[in-house]
Structure 1
């Protein structure tokens, strides 16, 4: 593990000492666990070595990556940044989730052409770069005619990951990384924060080390998956984790079973993941000549356009609510962004409820597949809920359904749950500790409460600041936080705030133009 200690002005490194009797060097003492504000001496007594660095980012995913990208472009050296992570690359978790939810590298994501985590300027966009790489005008025509003559253009997953990898090396991101699991972040008496890291076994002489910093950025991604009670109960009783699955889990075994013998599968959910799972099932059916039967359960069955008024309506039909992207485009820079920024409390929660909800893009290819399935009878969609799950005969699952047409019982080889439910923020140990000991609170949607600058409200330790971006901030003053563009907007707000505090240079016209030319030429910064 890297051991390049960086001292802040007036703050020397804390010397290592032996742990208290009965403990091991680097143990978290009861004093540390119970205390909200830590002093340097408390870590000395615990025998936890401390390294100084001005800025720490916790998580190491795409949220950390785009924030470090902004700071590097704004003139912050790699020596002033540490990213504490268990990930090998910033896109590792996201690529895993997209792959298991049936969006491998060759398939297209839901982001638009200008949402580029590797390029803060958004130009040239993914579409223009694809046209250049393929020497084809087809992507440009697609961009010019979306969404009227064509579906919205979206980048291939592999293109996004490869582009991030180039920027990853260009900004020297690997130089900032320290591997390990973050245990907690606590405020420091005297200003700033201590971030406790558990390094890989054998990588350090103590069980834990601490990073003392003036600024901390939390970007831990999704706290975890929340399984619906029926799914969880079935798995706990039967220990069957292969037939009743969440779509964000590896479930290739289900497609393999369908290839080996005909069967029926139940898909639950109405979002982008459900549409991708259905497309995979139908692609396999067409390509391999399978006899797969598909049952599709919607919790809410949408039959047409809907919304509170004519200016806030969402198209729908055949059970689906249609929308090109995760949120209306105006949340990133239009009316909704400005409106949400002014709202507080329940008013903000109510507006989120109006433009939120499960939806999926209306793409011509899989729409044609589902239409054919309805006509030929092998795809059945209905409104319903699962009342009970139990093992059936010959390795099947017996499902009792409550549908709009009355009770129904079916035998399926698998249930693929695509509801995509996100666990409570308390499911993540760092976020839970911030709620209990860091002064953090919840916003109107129950996530972490952040300021307009993405400072985590209630956690200030002057002159230090703690920021948070990503899905844990959903429900704040800016919607769309868990998207590529949303992460970049959060990073820009954070960089602007840090610029006012004197940590980095501002991104004015001259610096922005100069840095764009460096990006375009692939020049290392």
Structure 2
């Protein structure tokens, strides 16, 4: 990967000149009690606290794939790079995503759960990932797969490495690295007179004050999930017995589990039945086949479905052997068909109810790992259990015993040497300090699903500040008028709506047919954008 040491941080000498005389209220350059307690800040309050202020029209908080995609849209729309400042503690936009995919057994060479045209580096979606892979590898197989999916073939999806490398190329083209200021964002507050202040804690030693502030007309928030979710019974076990080695989450480092199983036979319990669980299972079985291991896999289901279900043929969900199969995490019509239009029309509880009907833990119906599980059931080394967990306690011979309560009330004790929790990421919005502060001090509200309430153009309801506007997108807006917010295509759609709204406000020009065509040609030839 390219070294992005050129990612800028704030110049210390400039800060030294900008720091006003402190007022004596707390440590100079830090948040004092008055700032923390006040919902709407004045310029003088920042000056009194000794916090230097920098002006920029648009601030994006997060620096992940969402910030990158919005920057890409706005740069293509003609925004000079110095009109946007991206505040982040990441080195590259895909850093968190790559970490999560790698931990969940999708390294760069494996394929993601994303279709051929969901391309963070390419707002047009052409040529698709499949076409580009076919060109690079000199084979028509990827294109043929796309043309025959999902009837004759599984859905074609890109390799993780292809996605990351293409984003790196586009980031260099649009001058992304020069738009970044590194550090940890503490909060965003409304400004008296309009706009917002965003407080950043830069890396130690890079500034003469602990914090700096960015004063902007527009703010964009896209920070992803607050953290890793953990099943309560497993969290209780880990904290009670201080065992963070044998009970692990699929999104945290757990390579030691696979290495230990190579050294000696063992029992592994999997919790969860989504895409991550299927990838963990595939890794276990691939190792079993490659190294001749005797690993026994125990899979605990809370709900075990064996037949397809749904209110109508249009909402039919295919289910077999405990799994619910779906190519992507939402039906494709939620991105650009009947379900998308329906989401846009529904309000409040009606929209929440429609979400519940279409939501659920699913995984793609991949032929390879379905065959692996079928073989495991036949040979007896893959066994499933159904029920709710009563307790998890230490067992004999270095095992962990999961006491499972069946539907008839009976308790079954299931021992394992390792337990892997593959149930997901933390979705509680208040677990993220930035959003908790936004709800408490900036007028933001929750939607019926308990996430951030946004308009159809992803403006955060209740946070208007004069002519200033705050936007949000990504996982923390689930429940909005668009369902697939936490996907590549969803982030692109959200960015398009925000870019169009900013065009209406005069910040950038709307991307029309002529500009879109000329910019695609520039993208295809990898021509850098001006104003970087």
| Bigger mean CA deviation after superposition, 74-83 or 237-246 | 237-246
1:467 pairs with one of 471, 476, 491? 471
5+ long unaligned stretches in structure 2: 1-7
Residue 194 (structure 1) aligns with: 197
In the TM superposition, 1:84-95 aligns within 5 A as 84-95=87-98
- Give the 3-state SS of the residue equivalent to 2:316 in structure 1: strand
**CA offset at residue 105 of structure 1?**
0.5
Is the Cα contact below 8 Å between 2:9 and 2:206 reproduced in 1?
no
Instruction: Report if aligned partners of 1:19, 1:27 keep a CA contact under 8 Å in 2.
Output: no
| Aligned counterpart, 1:230 | 233
1:86-485 equivalent positions in 2, closer than 5 A: 86-404=89-407, 406-485=410-489
Q: Residues of 2 paired with 1:370 and 1:185: CA distance?
A: 48
Determine if contact 1:247/1:416 at 8 Å carries over to the other structure: yes
Structure 1 residue matching 2:244: 3-state secondary structure? coil
**Whole-Å separation in 1 of the counterparts to 2:209 and 2:167:** 34
Match of 1:50 among 50, 53, 60: 53
Structure 1: which 5+ runs fail to align? 6-12
TM-score when scaled to structure 2? 0.96
> Which residue in the other structure is 2:26 paired with?
23
Q: Deviations over 1:334-386 (max 9, x none)?
A: 11110011111110000000000101010000000000000001101232222
Give, in angstroms, the shift of residue 245 of structure 1.
Answer: 1.2
The answer as to whether partners of 1:331 and 1:479 remain within 8 angstroms in 2 is yes
What is the number of residues matched between the two proteins? 518
Q: How far apart are the structure 2 equivalents of 1:285 and 1:385?
A: 28
| CA displacement, residues 65-90 of structure 1 (integer Å, 9 cap, x when unaligned) | 00000000000011111000000000
- Aligned residue in 2 for 1:519: 523
Equivalent residue in structure 2 for 1:35, among 30, 33, 38: 38
Tell me the secondary structure at the aligned position of residue 265 of structure 1.
Answer: strand
Whole-Å separation in 1 of the counterparts to 2:508 and 2:179:
16
Please say if residues 9 and 182 of structure 2, whose CA atoms lie closer than 8 Å, have aligned partners that are also in contact: no
Matched residues in 2 for 1:199 and 1:4: separation?
11
1:113-157 C-alpha deviation (Å, 9 max, x unpaired) = 000000000000000000000000111111111111110000000
> In structure 2, which of residues 483, 495, 505 is the aligned counterpart of residue 491 of structure 1?
495
Task: Report the alpha carbon displacement of residue 2 of structure 1 after superposing the two structures with TM.
Answer: 3.9
Is the 8 Å Cα contact of residues 426 and 432 (structure 1) preserved in structure 2? yes
Give the drift of 1:400: 1.2
CA shift for structure 1 position 423: 3.3
**Cα pair 1:38 1:186 within 8 Å, conserved:** yes
**What is residue 9 of structure 1 aligned with on the other side?**
none
8 Å CA contact 1:14–1:40 kept in 2: the answer is no
Off by >6 Å, runs of 4+ in structure 1: none
